[in-house]
Amino acid sequence: MINMNRTSPNILITGTPGVGKSLMSRILSEKTGLAWIDVSKFAIEKECLEEYDEVYQCPILDEDKLLDEMETLMCEGGKIVDYHGADFFPERWFDIVFVLRTDNTILYDRLRDRGYTGKKLEDNIDCEIFQTILEEARLAYREEIVHELTSNNLNQITENVNRICQWIEMWKIDNQE
């Protein structure tokens, strides 16, 4: 727990690109009123990017600057943080961590449809196959707050959102003064 005076929890939703983090985060934010922080967009807005990675065709994140920019927001509570990395965020920021997982054939099609090719496509599929993000989360956070959720289709995303909403209600009851 990061601040016992918070009235709402902080949630990390992570996983390989293409597993449905942004869709689930948006739906969850709409249902709960918690603020959704899409870390990739936030990093652009707050100029937390370094040079461009030609191999992966994306800018490189300045993690220290990003964490400085997010610190005050996270202390307020009530945040849904959506990002494909998990291990550099401070453990104290989150009350619960959800790692979304998707079947590799479904993920392959989603990433290909996004224009991923070559090494970027292969590495992201490998990341999912080898449960890289799940392992990162398990190493970075207390075991009891890390949960794996299957995210192959809209029905599963809806079920996951409903489960998380129930968890939020219990968190609020458990953390009342």
Which residues fall in the annotated binding site for ATP?
A: 18, 20-22, 114
Where residue 177 falls among pLDDT bands split at 50, 70, 90? low
Residues in the chain: 177
Topology, domain 17-158: Rossmann fold (3.40.50)
The ranges assigned to domains in the chain are 17-158
pLDDT, residue 176, reads 82
pLDDT for 34 beyond 50: yes
pLDDT for 1 beyond 70: no
Ordered strands of the 96-101 beta sheet: 35-38, 79-83, 11-14, 96-101, 146-150
pLDDT, residue 133, reads 96
pLDDT, residue 58, reads 79
pLDDT, residue 2, reads 44
100 in Cβ contact with 13 (< 8 Å): yes
pTM, two decimal places: 0.94
Token code pair at residue 103: 């079947």
pLDDT for 4 beyond 60: no
- Alpha-carbon distance of 173 to 7, in angstroms, equals 10
Q: Judging by DSSP bridges, how do beta strands 35-38 and 79-83 pair with one another?
A: parallel
Which residues fall in the annotated binding site?
A: 18, 20-22, 114
- Alpha-carbon distance of 125 to 17, in angstroms, equals 9
pLDDT, residue 59, reads 86
- Alpha-carbon distance of 74 to 144, in angstroms, equals 20
pLDDT for 25 beyond 50: yes
pLDDT for 167 beyond 80: yes
